[in-house]
Structure 1
Amino acid sequence: MSVRTEVRLWVAQRATAAVLAFCVAVHLVTIIYAVRGGLSAAEILERTRGNVAMALFYAVFVLSAAVHAGIGLRNVAAEWLDWRGRSARFAVMFFSLMLAFLGLRAVWAVFA
């Protein structure tokens, strides 16, 4: 890979880490608020159904996690397994796409 691509991946890794830090903090605050308020799972789902803001927030969370995990897995495969090249890129891309697909499917299930 070119130096330019490596730099872009490094920046993407750091940017998604920042987004994930924010999303995790908001998610934990939301959980604490819901638990302290005594909300049941059914009541939480009532509040999330049709809530576009909540769906968009969790979609960003999922997509950031998929990108972040894919880049990290690529680096781990290269450093620990000495696995580089097309097959490694394909496997990591497949993993990231599946992670994004399954996560967005879960977001949709809670939204719809």
Structure 2
Amino acid sequence: MNAVMFLAQRLSAGVLGIAIAVHLGTILYAVRGGLTAGEILGRTQGNLGFALFYAIFVVAVAVHAPIGLRNIVVEWTRWRGRSLDIAMACVMALLLWLGLRAVYAVYA
């Protein structure tokens, strides 16, 4: 299981690296262009490409963060076992739910 989590965290880190670069580049482009938040929202609403990009971003975060958090908890505490795995699965589910809700709110 540790090998699977190691691979999942590394793959999600690669996706996050690209997604963050694209996200920041988009922000810089929009700000330099003088776009307001309302204008940006107007351009993203109904845009399936933006929705898919940010959905992938959210999934990568939801995979990456709980694995890292789990490793920190294992290093700093005595918490181990199934209860920790369940707690991290709940963190993952929460990140997915909140993130995908935000993506939908911007898309719809």
The equivalent position to 1:83 in structure 2, one of 79, 82, 88, is 79
User: Does residue 36 of structure 2 align to residue 40 of structure 1?
Assistant: yes
Alignment map for 1:90-105 (pairs within 5 Å):
90-105=86-101
**What 5-or-longer segments of structure 1 have no aligned partner?**
none
Corresponding residue for residue 21 of structure 1: 17
The equivalent position to 1:108 in structure 2, one of 93, 104, 108, is 104
Write the distance in 2 (CA, Å) between the matches of 1:63 and 1:82: 29
1:31 CA displacement: 0.1
1:96 CA displacement: 1.0
Give the share of equivalent positions with the same residue, in percent. Answer: 56
Corresponding residue for residue 57 of structure 1: 53
1:59 CA displacement: 0.3
**What 5-or-longer segments of structure 2 have no aligned partner?**
none
Provide the TM-score with structure 2 as the length reference. Answer: 0.98
- What count of residue pairs does the alignment treat as equivalent? 108
Deviation beyond 4 Å, 4+ runs, structure 1: none
RMSD over equivalenced CA pairs, Å? 0.6
Provide the TM-score with structure 1 as the length reference. Answer: 0.94
Amino acid at match of 2:33: G
3-state SS, counterpart of residue 84 of structure 1: coil
1:34 CA displacement: 0.3
